[in-house]
Amino acid sequence: MNVQQGFKIAFTESQVGKYVWQFHYEVDDSCHHHEIPFSKHYVLSDGLWEPPCCIPGYAVDAPFSRLCHSEEALIYKHKHNCSVVS
């Protein structure tokens, strides 16, 4: 079965023009099925050069993902101006 589902995001005026990142996952099951579902988690940044810092759900400053809840939640350690709540 293949099911697609969309969702809408309302951006504020200050968010217009930002780059939108959407998380997806690669899933393999014991029957050798491979799927790549997209999540409803998204991040806004200034551009392609500024990827998300935190795994989905762990950004303290969502939807921007520059400040993470913990060091374990960092995608990039010591890169891209990523930091952790102190």
The confidence score (pLDDT) of residue 2 equals 74
The confidence score (pLDDT) of residue 56 equals 93
Domain boundaries of the chain, sorted by first residue = 48-86
Sign of CA dihedral 62, 56, 66, 80: negative
Is the pLDDT at 45 greater than 90? The verdict is: yes
Burial class (CB in 10 A: 0-12, 13-18, 19+), 54: buried
Alpha carbons 84 and 59: distance in angstroms, whole number: 9
The per-residue pLDDT for range 16-31, each reduced to its tens digit, is 999 999 998 899 999 9
